[in-house]
Amino acid sequence: MRLVSQVSQEEMVKEFVPSNSGSSAGAQFGLVGALVGSAVDASVNNSRAQEAEQMVEPFRNALLDLDVRSLVYNQLAENSARIDWVAEINPVMEQLESGKKPEEYVLGADEDLVLMVDTHYSLKPGTEVVEFVAAYALYDRDAVRNSGKSKSKPIYSNTATVQSYPHNGSIRRLTESEKEAERLALEERYPTGEDVGKNTRARNQKYKNKALSKLDKKTLSVPGYNPNGSVWLANDGALLRQEVQAAPSLLASMVIKDLIGEYPLPELAEGEKRKHAKVPQVLEELDDGMVITRQPNGMLLSKHRDAPVYTTFGNVF
């Protein structure tokens, strides 16, 4: 098997929230309106991209001596030694030529199998976390040859995402001790003992149950959150460097564990049909509060248990 590690970017990037408000509004006024709206969006996005470029510059400077491509490649090569269902693994660090399809690359390989791992890394828009994402796909060369480049599909493909510890987190869930304190406060606020009238007791129970049902989704703002991410740059970028250096090891481990079956899907009872999970499946829990889960769509995610998933458009629990 050939393991191809790709990191196409040269340096850290910062995501920004793209604008679509102009197109949405302009589309209500026909073709001319849609064109005007698209032009507005293009102008807004260009401005936001420039702002992101200016803001990310000190982060790039803090990482000048780190070769992220090599960090990712070395960790993938080291972890791939655990794959026991192939006789030999040949790791390479290279980029596909622009416009070249993975299937074309696979057909030119000497190995029977080709595992492509395409990694990119960034600061999320609010600079809450550093994110590494690996999209990986395993191809069988003979299957690609027999099916034709236009119809061939990988044997298996998935995505693994690592979101760093939220050193600049904006919101968090309540801890268990905070939830317990909330429960005790609700007991006092809505008493349901025998000394309370029947109607009042029923009403209090209703209010209390409603409040309790929201505890798991309740969030708190994190004091000290800074949208400019200055916490990452303190002490010559110590936290930023720490997370960027740690992420490739964790990411490579997640990819390989998925491929060798250490992250299996939940077992089913006899006769039970496979259904999409409705909640993330916890795969690993680490001592520092980080958890690795398989999301309902099958993708792998590592993040802090009390932090949301930070996306381009905001954050979600």
Distance (Å, rounded) from C-alpha 171 to C-alpha 225?
Answer: 9
CA 80 vs CA 105, 108, 182, 255, 262: distances in Å: 20, 22, 47, 9, 13
| pLDDT score recorded for residue 279 | 84
pLDDT at 256 over 80: yes
| pLDDT score recorded for residue 294 | 96
What digits encode the pLDDT tens for the residues 30-83? 565 555 656 666 776 777 788 889 999 999 999 999 999 999 999 999 999 999
Confidence class for position 283, pLDDT limits 50, 70, 90: very high
221-250 average pLDDT score: 96
Distance (Å, rounded) from C-alpha 70 to C-alpha 66?
Answer: 9
| pLDDT score recorded for residue 31 | 60
pLDDT at 270 over 80: no
Q: Residue 21, Cβ neighbours under 10 Å: how many?
A: 11
What digits encode the pLDDT tens for the residues 169-185? 999 989 889 999 999 99
| pLDDT score recorded for residue 151 | 76
| pLDDT score recorded for residue 92 | 98
**Predicted TM-score (pTM) of this structure:** 0.86
Look-up of token digits 């260009």: 46
Helix (H, G, I), strand (E, B) or coil at 173: strand
Distance (Å, rounded) from C-alpha 12 to C-alpha 147?
Answer: 38
Phi and psi torsions of 107, nearest 5°: -65, -25
pLDDT at 260 over 60: yes
